[in-house]
Amino acid sequence: MAGSEQSNNDLAEDRYISFLGIGCDGNADRLIGMLDKHLNAANGEAKWQRYFAQKRQQQVQFKHDNLNFIGHQTNTLYEYFNSCEDQQALSLLYKIEQQCC
């Protein structure tokens, strides 16, 4: 019986079945908070400051939510968080990519 309970929980958190219970928007908001914190502290190369300033401005202009932004910037976010050596952000980004994108 415990095995069937586990498989029901797995199904409840499978993005191919439902996003219910995954927390995609909350995790996306957390990751963007981490990004903003690094950018405000001027972490990383200046090219990242310019790049993400432009992309975040476009996000506001097109009224895209944070999950949409992450979906379009996944590779650059990996590169930036790697350059900042932020393992927590990298782990959260991986989780979002696997569960929500």
* Rounded-to-5 percentages of helix, strand, coil across the chain: 75, 0, 25
Per-residue pLDDT at 17: 56
Domain residue ranges in the chain: 22-100
pTM of this structure: 0.80
Residue 73 CB neighbour total at 10 angstroms: 19
Per-residue pLDDT at 101: 86
pLDDT digits (tens, 9 = 90+) for 53-89: 999 999 999 999 999 999 999 999 999 999 999 999 9
